């Protein structure tokens, strides 16, 4: 598993735009699923509609942010990757807090869905931070190489 993550992070460090695409598609999928729960399946879930609406709104904003970064960002990848990874981590913390707050009302579907969602997003956050560090280290390495060249 470590080799797969290492290979993936190396690839994404060379192509950071793809990381924003992955994040955007994931947030879009999350938004669609939350929207489906809100509109059609709420009787089967114990999470209050206001909480689901808040989580949907945040997921939609994260989708928009990542899509804008994917489409328009040309430089400063590490800054924007760290911003989205921090936002994703805060989303996970908020989701976990809601699980504790509403625990007595939740169904097995709620616990399964939100636990799986949080685990996937945390894996994404780990990948984003690893890619960010690789980009930062590779840019420092290239700066050190260019500085160490003898001047004529």
Q: What is the mean pLDDT of the chain?
A: 88
Does some domain include residue 149? no
Task: Supply φ then ψ for residue 83, to 5 degrees.
Answer: -65, -50
Whole-number Å distance between alpha carbons of 148 and 116: 48
Does some domain include residue 151? no
Overall number of domains in the chain? 1
Does some domain include residue 145? no
Find the helix packing angle between 77-101 and 108-148, rounded to 10°.
160
Find the helix packing angle between 16-36 and 77-101, rounded to 10°.
20
Q: Are 37 and 106 in contact (CB under 8 A)?
A: no
Does some domain include residue 26? yes
pLDDT in tens, 99-139: 999 999 999 989 999 999 999 999 999 999 999 999 988 87
Whole-number Å distance between alpha carbons of 46 and 99: 10
The pLDDT of residue 1: 65
- Give the range of the structural domain holding residue 109, as residue numbers without chain letter: 2-139
Whole-number Å distance between alpha carbons of 92 and 117: 8
Does some domain include residue 97? yes
Kindly indicate the confidence band of residue 146, based on its pLDDT and cuts at 50, 70 and 90. very low
Does some domain include residue 129? yes
Does some domain include residue 98? yes
Does some domain include residue 71? yes
pLDDT in tens, 4-35: 888 888 889 999 999 999 999 999 999 999 98
**Percentage of the chain modeled with pLDDT above 70:** 91
């Amino acid at each position: 598993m470590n080799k797969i993550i290492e290979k993936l992070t190396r690839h994404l460090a060379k192509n950071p735009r793809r990381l924003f695409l992955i994040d955007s598609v994931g947030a879009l999928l999350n938004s669609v699923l939350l929207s489906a729960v809100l509109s059609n399946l709420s009787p089967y879930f114990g999470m209050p509609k206001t909480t689901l609406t808040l989580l949907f709104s945040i997921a939609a904003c994260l989708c928009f942010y990542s899509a804008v970064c994917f489409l328009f960002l040309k430089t400063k990848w590490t800054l924007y990757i760290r911003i989205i990874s921090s936002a994703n981590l805060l989303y996970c913390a908020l989701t976990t807090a809601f699980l504790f707050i509403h625990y007595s009302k939740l169904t097995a579907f709620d616990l399964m869905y939100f636990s799986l969602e949080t685990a996937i997003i945390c894996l994404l956050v780990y990948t984003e931070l690893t890619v960010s560090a690789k980009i930062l280290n590779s840019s420092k390495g290239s700066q050190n190489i260019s500085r160490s060249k003898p001047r004529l």
